[in-house]
Amino acid sequence: MARGSYYLKMINIKLNKELDYEVYIDFKDFKVAGVDFGEKIKTDHPGINEDNYQQYIDNYYSTNKDLLEGKLREINGYLTEDQVLFFTELKKIFDLDFSRNDYTGYLSIFNCNPRYVENGTFQIFYKKDLLDKTEVAFHESLHFAFFTYCDQLEGCNGLNKNNGPLWELSEIFNVIVLNLPQFQDILKRPEQLFYPSLKGKLEKARDLWAKNKGRLDIFIKKSLDFLVIEK
């Protein structure tokens, strides 16, 4: 078996025009943690609005068909080389093997990059450069692994994965883990904190990570404790 051939099914990127219909409606007025997604959409697509969004998206996909399909081939080819190493390192972090899971990403014409925990899917803005697109794919896959692990921990059940302390910790956790040397060898650029309002909380979590190295369950519990207090 060629290197990475099995794992091509682990993270597979596709096109999904209909999902962009939903993303436009969901994000056109959405702001969270210092990020204005609606403004991002308007910046890239000043001509889109509630009245024309479906036709606008249809036209964009049709006009840019060759470009989008080229970006698709590029990211899938690149991921084939790196995801074996990524999931090997992931197993060391969680002591769980995620290599039989299927995660599907969709290139998007919007720079929102949402993820859907319930079915293990996510979006990637097609204009990102290759390393940025790769980062999104691994970033979201790490989210799915993190939430799967948390589902087994007492005190995590029932916590919202899209808002609140567990969601905040998932974003903070990604910055900590993806900046570890073994993951930087794969990503090839530093992982940045996407949400400015979490900066102070990240520093506290980094201290807890250093103090509880090797005890992921304790790190998560203590981090959630202080995040709940600070809400």
Indicate the range of 25-29, 139-143, 161-165 predicted with least confidence: 161-165
pLDDT on residue 204: 94
The yes-or-no verdict on residue 6 having pLDDT over 60 is no
Q: Tell me the pLDDT tens digit for each residue of 102-129.
A: 899 999 999 999 999 999 999 999 999 9
For residue 135, pLDDT beyond 50: yes
Backbone angles phi, psi at 50, to 5 degrees: -65, -25
Contact assessment for residue 212 and residue 219, using Cβ atoms and an 8 Å cutoff: yes
Contact of 223 with 208, CB cutoff 8 Å? yes
Average of pLDDT values for 37-45? 95
Q: What is the pLDDT of residue 214?
A: 76
Helices (H), the chain: 17-27, 37-44, 53-63, 65-94, 130-150, 164-178, 181-187, 199-211, 216-229
User: What's residue 7's pLDDT?
Assistant: 40
pLDDT tens for 166-197 read: 999 999 999 999 999 999 999 999 999 988 88
Burial label, 20 (beta-carbon count in 10 A; 0-12, 13-18, 19+): buried
Question: Mean pLDDT, to the nearest integer, of 33-59?
Answer: 95
Residue with tokens 């930087």: 184
Contact 92, 213 (CB under 8 A): no
